[in-house]
Structure 1
Amino acid sequence: MATRYYPAILEQSSDGFGVFFPDFDGCVAHGATTEDAARQAEEALALHLRGMIEDGDAIPDPTPLERVERDPEVEEFARILVRAELPGRAVRANITMEEGLLAAVDTFAKQQGKTRSAFLADAARAAMQEARTA
């Protein structure tokens, strides 16, 4: 996976902090604290990028933080960089798995309209994300 860092703007509100991304219209997050807002921003960005990839949309390069123009209508609290993991080149891998589990994976993947590889990659991403947030 390729790591990129996208600029995000935090705005303080009566119930916490809103976050928006100048590089992605409609990608927003909210948190009660700045730390919570940053975590939510990372999740929102990951979801937004996944949707763009699934739709075949081009992923823009991050705008350097110092080049993001200030909007006079926005009262900024802070600017942060939010990490995003973009898929890299697919690489063939040979794994060993119990045959019953492999058959169950194949059946489930087919029901989801996915290949075995796509299912296993999605499952690995979900497990790592869950471990990060635990």
Structure 2
Amino acid sequence: MIEETKTGFSAYSPDVDGCITTGKTKQEVENNMQEAMEFHVEGLLLENQKMPRSHTYSNYLEVSATA
């Protein structure tokens, strides 16, 4: 999940607790999140921890509204 902030962008994964990052641009936050996810997974592997299972999904919904 990537969100725009007052100073750039922030990112987190609802499926990976505690894995968050920031960046000044969309590209920077995407790169930082890639590195954060890899670091997090490597740490789990080193400590013989369970890999998080996906429990969320995303989708765009089309809605119409009348005034």
Normalised-by-shorter TM-score class: 0.7 to 0.9
Give runs of ≥4 in structure 1 deviating > 2 Å: 60-67
How many residue pairs end up in the alignment?
59
For structure 2, the 5+ residue unaligned runs are: 60-67
Deviations 1:89-110 (A, max 9, x none): xxxxxxxxxxxxxxxxxxxxxx
Selected match of 2:54 from 62, 66, 76: 62
Following superposition, the deviation at residue 64 of structure 1 comes to: 5.5
SS of 1:11's partner is strand
The answer as to 2:17 corresponding to 1:28 is no
Aligned-partner residue type, residue 11 of structure 2? V
Unaligned ranges ≥5, structure 1:
1-8, 68-134
Q: Percent identity?
A: 25
Higher Rg: 1
Normalised by the size of structure 1, how large is the TM-score? 0.40
1:66-111 deviations in whole A, cap 9, x for unaligned?
Answer: 38xxxxxxxxxxxxxxxxxxxxxxxxxxxxxxxxxxxxxxxxxxxx
Q: Which has the higher contact order (CA 8 A, sep 6+)?
A: 1
TM-score of the pair, normalised by structure 2: 0.76
Closer, same or farther in 2 for the Cα pair 1:64/1:23, shift >3 Å? closer
Give the deviation of 1:36 after TM superposition: 0.9
| Match runs of 1:1-134 below 5 Å | 9-63=1-55, 65-66=57-58
1:25 aligned counterpart, secondary structure = coil
Counterpart CA distance in 2 for 1:47 and 1:14 is 27
